[in-house]
Structure 1
Amino acid sequence: MTTDLAPPDLTRSIADRIALIEGGIVVPPAKGLGNQSVQRSGVLRPDGTLVPESVTWRGRTQVTVAPALPAGEIADLPGTWMFLGPLFGHFGHFLVESICRIWAYARLEGRIDGVLYVPKFQNRPEHVANVYRPFLRALGVGAEMRNLEEPARVERLYVPQQGFGMFQMIEGAPEFRDFVRARAGKGIAPQGAERIYVSRSALPPARGSILFERRLEALLEAEGYTILHPQKLDHAGQIAAYRAARDVIAVDCSPLHLLALVGNSDQRVGVIARRDGRLDEIFARQIRAFQGAEATAIDTLRHNWIEDHASRPSRTSWGEIDFPALGRALNAAGLIAGGLDWSRPDEDEVTAEIARISQASGIAFKRWAGPPGTAPADAD
C-alpha cells in the first residue's frame, strides 16, 4: 500500500482537485482474483507513476492501491473522458464509493465524451454497468458510461479526487453536496406514502436485520406508516418514494444512502441501529449534511446475534432491540404519537425467533459478548 498518501480532506473546497492526464492509463483489477477487499487498480501516468487522485478510500483505508504498468499492448481510447473509480456491484457501496467523484461532472459536462469505471472485481462487469447506468443518470450524470475490463490508454483523462466516502468522509465535500442538491433525483416526480418504514423483512435471512421486524412493522402501521420494500422497486420507484415521504423510519442499511441523496429538508428520519458500530449515527450525519433534514440516530440495541463462525457484528448479523426504549425514542423524535407502552419480547420468544432465522438461513447464531462500538466491515 502506498505510504505517502493520505485520505482526502473534505472539510474544505476540492474544486481544484481534478487532474488532467494526457495518455493516462486506466488499469482495472486483474481477472481471476475474486472480490478482494483491496484491489490493484487506478490511473497511471504514461511513465507508470500513480495518479493520486485515482485512489479510492474507505475511511482511512485505501480500497485501491497502485497497479503495475500493464505488460504488452494497451488499447487506445480516443477522446476526453472522466474517471469515476471502481464500480461496486453492492448497492450501498455503489451509492457511496462508486459515485464519490461525480461532483466533477458539473464542471466537465459538455467537455467530455463520457465517464469511465473499472470493475470492483472482474465478475460480469457489463451486467453490473447495465444495472447502475439508470441510477447514475438519475443522480445527474447523463454522459456515456463504460466499465473497462481491460487496460486502456486514454487520449485525455480527467481524474477528480474523491469527494465523498465512508466514516469521516460521510458528509462529503462542499462540491459534492452542491452537486447532489442540484441534480440527484430531480428528474423523477415524488410518488408514494407520506410515512414509510424501510423494511428488510422481505430480504433473505442471510442478509441480517433486527429480531421481530414484522412486529415493529405492525406497530408502525398502526401509526400510519406504509411498509416499503425498496428491492421490489426499480431505481425510479425508489427515488420517487423517498422524494414523497415526509416521515421515514429505517434500520441502518444501504437505502438510507439513497434517501440522503434524493430526500429534502422537510423530512424527519429515524435511523434504528441494527448492529454495533454506530452506523446509525453515520447515516444520520449524511442525511443531515446533504439535505438538512431532521435525522435522529436511535441505538436501543440489547444484544447482537452473530453467526457461530463470526467474531463480531456485521451486515449479516441480527440486532435484538429494546422495544420499549425504541418506542419512547421514536415518540420523542416526533415520528410516532404513541410508543410509550411497547412491550419487550420475552426470552422464550427471542429463542424461538433465533431458531426461526437459523432454520431459514441454514446458519446457527450466537449472542455476541464483545466490546460496544466495534465497527462492522461495511454498511449494507
Structure 2
Amino acid sequence: MGTGTASAPTVPDLSGSIADRIDLIEGAFVVPPAKGLGNRSVQRSGVLTPDGALVENSVTWRGMAQVTMAPAMPEGDIADLPGTWMFLGPLFGHFGHFLVESISRIWAYGALKDRIDGVLYVPKFQNRPGHVMNVYRPFLQALGVDCEMRNIEDPTRVERLYVPGQGFGMFQMIEGAPEFRDFVRAHAGKGIAPQGAEKIYVSRSALPPVRGSILGEALLEERLKAEGYEVFHPQKHSHAEQIAAYRAARQVIAVDCSPLHLLALVGHADQKVAVIARRDGHLDDIFARQIRAFQGAEATAIDLLRRNWIEEHASGPSRTSWGEIDFAELGRRLNAAGLIAGGLDWPDLTDAQIAAEVARISDGVGVPFRPWAGPPGTAPVEEE
C-alpha cells in the first residue's frame, strides 16, 4: 500500500522511466475543490491517505508550479466508493489544458486496466462536473481509456485507489515520460480512420477576437490556399473529426494554439509541421518539441514577432494578445521548411493594414489594443 507525505512535493522528473510511480492506497480520500470557489489558478484538491497525508503522485504540476495543493481532511458524512479505481487528476473544461494536464496519468491505464473498475477525476473547479465528464468521455476513449469514468464532486472514500504520477505536462514536461509516449503511440486515435486534406492550415480566424491570433491571419489563409492548403477550423468539428483530419494531413501549418497538442498525440512521423508564434513566451518551440518527441515528425518553430498587441489594461502578452509578425520572412521560412513552393516574394503588411487589423480587433473585444514594449521572453499565463 502506498503512503502519503508530509514533506513538500517535488517537480516530477520525466527524463527516464516512471513505471514505478504508482501508489496503491487502501481507503483513500479523493478530495475535489470546495464548491463555490470559482475557477482559481491553484485549487486545494487531490488524494489523501486514511491518516490525512497527501499522496504526492496526486499533485498536478504546470511547469515548476503546482496546479493542485494539499486539501484539508474532509469532515462530516463522506461518500464511500467500493471497488478498485485509478486517479487521473483534475478534469479541465478548457480543451488545451485538458489535452496536457487532464491526460497526464493515462500512461498507467495499460498496466492497470484489468485490475480496476474505472477511473476517477476531480473537477478543476466546480462547474457542471457531470457535463464536463460527458464532453470528454468519448475523447478519452479515442485516446485508449475505455472504462467507467467519474468526475468526483464531493469528498469520497475509495476502497482501493491507484494513483499514478504525472507523466506529461507543460514546459519542461512537454516531451512526456517514456511510458506516456508509448501509451499514446499505441492507442491515441487508432480507432479513427484518417480523413481529410493532405495540407491544412489550423486557423483561429473564426474564433472571437478576444481569443487572440496574428494580425493579417486572413491574408495568410489566402496565401496558403494558393499553395493548396485547406483552412481548418477545429472548433467547428467533433473531436473524432479533428483526429481524422490530423491523421490524414501530411503538411500542417498553424499559429501556436491548443489543437497542436492533439496533433502531437494522433499525428504521424511523415508529417511536416510549422508552428508560428502568435505571442511572446516561446510556446511555438514548446509545441514543436512535443510534436517531434511524440511522433518523430518534422516540426519547425517560427518566431517572427515584431510586436505583441495587448489590451489597453493588460500588463503583457497572454492568450488574448495578437502578434504582429514579419510576413515576408514567414514566406521564406515556410519555403525553406518545404511546406510551400513559393513564399519568396510575400509582401509585408502595410501600416494601413496593421492599423485596420488593430481597429477591427479593438472593436470586436470592446477595448483598445496597444503595442507592448516590455522585455522579450515573458511566458503567457494561459497556454490556449
Instruction: Report the 3-state secondary structure (helix = DSSP H, G, I; strand = E; otherwise coil) of the residue aligned with 2:30.
Output: strand
Inter-CA distance 3–277: structure 2 relative to 1 (3 Å threshold):
farther
Q: Which residue in the other structure is 2:259 paired with?
A: 255
Q: Is 2:225 aligned against 1:221? A: yes
Q: 1:287-315, CA deviations, whole angstroms, 9 ceiling, x for partnerless residues?
A: 00000000000011111000111111011
Q: Specify the code of the residue in structure 1 equivalent to 2:47.
A: V
Q: Is 2:237 aligned against 1:244? A: no
Task: Give the TM-score normalised by structure 2.
Answer: 0.98
Q: 1:130-150, CA deviations, whole angstroms, 9 ceiling, x for partnerless residues?
A: 111111001110011100110
Q: Is 2:191 aligned against 1:187? A: yes
Instruction: Report the 3-state secondary structure (helix = DSSP H, G, I; strand = E; otherwise coil) of the residue aligned with 1:13.
Output: coil
Structure 1 position 349, deviation (Å): 1.6
Aligned residue among 80, 89, 93 for 1:89: 93
Instruction: Report the 3-state secondary structure (helix = DSSP H, G, I; strand = E; otherwise coil) of the residue aligned with 2:268.
Output: coil
d(CA) in 2 for partners of 1:124, 1:200 = 27
Q: Is 2:362 aligned against 1:361? A: no
Q: Is 2:18 aligned against 1:14? A: yes
Q: Which residue in the other structure is 1:109 paired with?
A: 113
Q: Specify the code of the residue in structure 1 equivalent to 2:25.
A: I
d(CA) in 2 for partners of 1:249, 1:25 = 45
Aligned residue among 232, 237, 257 for 2:236: 232
Structure 1 position 3, deviation (Å): 6.3
d(CA) in 1 for partners of 2:290, 2:373 = 29
Q: Which residue in the other structure is 2:374 paired with?
A: 370
Aligned residue among 206, 226, 231 for 2:210: 206
d(CA) in 1 for partners of 2:355, 2:224 = 24
Q: Which residue in the other structure is 2:142 paired with?
A: 138
d(CA) in 2 for partners of 1:227, 1:3 = 50
Q: Is 2:342 aligned against 1:338? A: yes
Q: Specify the code of the residue in structure 1 equivalent to 2:62.
A: R
Instruction: Report the 3-state secondary structure (helix = DSSP H, G, I; strand = E; otherwise coil) of the residue aligned with 1:187.
Output: coil
Q: Specify the code of the residue in structure 2 equivalent to 1:337.
A: A
Q: Specify the code of the residue in structure 2 equivalent to 1:25.
A: F
d(CA) in 2 for partners of 1:54, 1:172 = 17
Task: Give the TM-score normalised by structure 1.
Answer: 0.99
Q: Which residue in the other structure is 2:3 paired with?
A: none
Aligned residue among 273, 276, 279 for 1:275: 279
Q: Which residue in the other structure is 1:45 paired with?
A: 49
Structure 1 position 4, deviation (Å): 2.1
Q: Which residue in the other structure is 2:169 paired with?
A: 165
Structure 1 position 204, deviation (Å): 0.7
d(CA) in 1 for partners of 2:93, 2:368 = 27
Q: 1:84-135, CA deviations, whole angstroms, 9 ceiling, x for partnerless residues?
A: 0000000000000000000000100111100000000001111111111111
Aligned residue among 307, 311, 322 for 1:307: 311
Q: Specify the code of the residue in structure 2 equivalent to 1:224.
A: G
C-alpha RMSD of matched pairs (Å): 0.7
Q: Is 2:129 aligned against 1:125? A: yes
Q: Which residue in the other structure is 1:5 paired with?
A: 9
Q: Is 2:38 aligned against 1:34? A: yes
Q: Specify the code of the residue in structure 2 equivalent to 1:94.
A: F
d(CA) in 2 for partners of 1:103, 1:328 = 40
Structure 1 position 348, deviation (Å): 1.8
d(CA) in 2 for partners of 1:63, 1:181 = 27
Structure 1 position 363, deviation (Å): 1.9
Aligned residue among 65, 70, 89 for 2:69: 65
d(CA) in 1 for partners of 2:356, 2:267 = 38
Instruction: Report the 3-state secondary structure (helix = DSSP H, G, I; strand = E; otherwise coil) of the residue aligned with 2:182.
Output: helix
Percent identity (aligned): 77
Q: 1:169-228, CA deviations, whole angstroms, 9 ceiling, x for partnerless residues?
A: 000000000000000000000000000000000001110001110000000000000000
Instruction: Report the 3-state secondary structure (helix = DSSP H, G, I; strand = E; otherwise coil) of the residue aligned with 1:150.
Output: coil
